[in-house]
Structure 1
């Protein structure tokens, strides 16, 4: 049997005044709905502006055939997918570089002497190289006069239209320009899903990994892509000492994100990509919380 909810509500506006309703009835999906979901639905459905505190009162769930579209069908039309690895004490991202050291600068116990009884805080201390975890490369990483994380415009980090390329490492480690042809990529973020992230934090991860060729980098530059991300140990072939892909892309101010994960959870398109670092002067690489926003179709 379908479920409905009966409730009263109070909406208080940030510019003064309020709106109250009694004995509202609404179709719901499932057997329950939270007060927060009801509050969000009221604000959206009534197109209320400047809404502040919302109280849901006298809520009752009962069985009755649905009358209209349910509240839970008004859930957000986008969902966020985390594409970053977790950084933790002792993590080795790149052999030869030190692992991060994460500890208390001020512990909760030590902080108690500064505050009233029952109030305490923790202030952390982190010592690490900037090439740790999932990170973004800006031109300064490769070029002395290139832009650092402080100088890159915010729009180059956030909400970039993105496309995913499926190039399994089991089929090839060498990713060429041919892999990117016959798809619309101009002005987009290119996310390369090889599946190599399954080896993260193992000895296998560091050697014989997928990489882009120089021809691939030249093609992506010519197509004026915004950013290139990969779920591999390095976007260049680390078997040699040259780094043509970093050189070509960063010289064109095409940002690079390495050590992505969870790209298998994304569709091939209709997504946006964000990977924003803190604003540091004199730093060309820094860890990011990379994520994708995936468009969803509302249930009818």
Structure 2
């Protein structure tokens, strides 16, 4: 007899890569060209030109440090595990006190994902306006929590008006991976879920676009 099985719900957390998508200031926009077509060559292929930190992407420790690991040097298990959402909407700074409110859930997770609601500004100039970022104390505490990585629905873990990526330095320096430009975080209500964020396996990659998903129980 066939026994029905439950089907997990999968939520796509990834922005589509397009030529007019927001990119970090100073980065060239993606170029997507039609290399071949079904009508002419019998098969379709696109030629893609973009930087390694475009769209929903992952930062490797090597993004900031020459002597740290690249994504291709990390085991595949680095890119998936239990995760929790921390709602930081309405905040300007994510403090240690705020994180401590979620300490029990964080202790059960490999990934902490910050939901700021800033994704609503995707595609507009407001996407580069101020958004919540960790302070130094909060970032340092997260490096002690046996995590694999952190994610956020903004373009950076550091403010846009700085010259030194201090929060990146703290987090990546500890070996964490960082996922930026996530979306649809406000649709996740499960306290803990399975997070999957698979980067392209590019030689010596300092970062890579990813397809990030949440698998809900």
* TM-score, normalised with respect to structure 2: 0.93
Equivalent of 2:47, from 111, 120, 125?
A: 125
Q: Which residue of 1 aligns with 2:17?
A: 87
Aligned pairs (5 A) from 1:145-224: 145-158=67-80, 160-168=81-89, 171-182=90-101, 183-184=103-104, 185-186=106-107, 187-224=109-146
Aligned partners of 1:141 and 1:285: how far apart in 2?
Answer: 7
Aligned partners of 2:56 and 2:192: how far apart in 1?
Answer: 23
Aligned partners of 1:132 and 1:292: how far apart in 2?
Answer: 20
Tell me the alpha carbon deviations over residues 24-46 of structure 1, each in whole angstroms, 9 at most, x when there is no partner. xxxxxxxxxxxxxxxxxx6x42x
Question: Is contact 1:209-1:233 (8 Å) kept?
Answer: no
The alignment partner of 1:131 has SS state of: coil
Q: How many residues align?
A: 214
Aligned pairs (5 A) from 1:131-142: 131-142=53-64
Structure 1 portions without partners, runs of 5+? 1-41, 46-73, 112-119, 296-300
Question: Is contact 1:142-1:247 (8 Å) kept?
Answer: yes
Aligned partners of 1:92 and 1:153: how far apart in 2?
Answer: 30
Tell me the alpha carbon deviations over residues 129-161 of structure 1, each in whole angstroms, 9 at most, x when there is no partner. 111110001111111121112101100102x11
Q: Which residue of 2 aligns with 1:3?
A: none
Q: Which residue of 2 aligns with 1:287?
A: 209
Q: 1:166 to 1:268 in 2, by over 3 A?
A: farther
Tell me which of the two structures has the higher relative contact order, counting C-alpha pairs closer than 8 angstroms and 6 or more residues apart.
2
Structure 1 residue 210: Cα displacement = 1.9
1:255 aligns with 2:177: yes
The alignment partner of 1:110 has SS state of: coil
* TM-score, normalised with respect to structure 1: 0.68
Structure 2 portions without partners, runs of 5+? none
The alignment partner of 1:80 has SS state of: strand
